[in-house]
Amino acid sequence: MTGTPKFAVFASGSGSNFQAIHDAVKAGKVPGQAVLVVTDKPDAFVVERAKKVGIKTLAIKPSSFSSKQAYEQAVLDKLSELKVEWIILAGYMRLIGDVLLGAYPNRIINIHPSLLPSFPGKDAIGQAMEHGVKVTGVTVHYVDAGMDTGPILAQAAVEVVSGNREKTEERIHAVEHELYTKTLQQLWSR
């Protein structure tokens, strides 16, 4: 791919993955251009992070629309206006619907805190600890209509710190930040 693809990050929470990707772009490690942060949670910390680094935000609640399609259409209008080419999900806790999947075929990427197909859905770290696995990990994958089911781009293993969710989560986040930026770097350097 030539040029620097314009991308939007979708997030519902703290936004540490957004921050890592943004920092990697600024450091010249990822050949893309972050133009927008989309959140379904206007109070999420990711909004502050985006504002601090001067990236536009679109913070709208899906519940204020009559349907999922109407919500996604409003998001799509903004993406089109800014000529966004890729959607990068980073802790966006919603299934992507037909409107965005149709507009961005094979152009939506997600990160998930487990070795998929194990522990899809919410609280993957809690699910892994509850199950008692010794090794879990991180997956970066293309997004399809399913819950964490699209084709896998990259994975990395992380050892569980037995009985210590906080430390396990710290390890997973550190690996996520590295794996996501590395995967995007490879994807956009092709």
- Out of 22, 112, 141, 177, the active site residue is 112
Q: Are 33 and 6 in contact (CB under 8 A)?
A: yes
49 labelled ligand-binding: no
| Neighbouring-strand partners of residue 141 | 110, 152
The count of other CB atoms within 10 Å of the CB of residue 63 is 7
Least Å distance, CB 3 to ligand GAR, is 26
The question of whether 22 is a catalytic residue gets the answer no
Least Å distance, CB 65 to ligand GAR, is 22
Least Å distance, CB 39 to ligand GAR, is 10
147 labelled ligand-binding: no
**CB closer to ligand GAR, 70 vs 157:** 157
106 labelled ligand-binding: no
Alpha-carbon dihedral sign for residues 74, 77, 78, 80: positive
- The binding site for ligand GAR (CB under 6 A) comprises 11, 13-17, 90-91, 111-113, 124, 148, 176
Q: Where does the chain have alpha helices with state H? A: 16-26, 45-52, 68-81, 98-103, 124-131, 165-189
The count of other CB atoms within 10 Å of the CB of residue 82 is 14
| Neighbouring-strand partners of residue 46 | none
C-alpha 136: how far from its chain's center?
18
94 labelled ligand-binding: yes
In degrees, rounded to 5, the angle at the alpha carbon of residue 168 between the alpha carbons of residues 23 and 119 is: 95
**CB closer to ligand GAR, 77 vs 122:** 122
The whole-angstrom separation of Cα 75 and Cα 171 is 33
**CB closer to ligand GAR, 96 vs 111:** 111
**CB closer to ligand GAR, 2 vs 143:** 143
Residue type, 45: F
93 labelled ligand-binding: yes
Least Å distance, CB 55 to ligand GAR, is 15
* Binding site, annotated residues: 15-17, 68, 93-96, 110
Residues forming the active site: 112
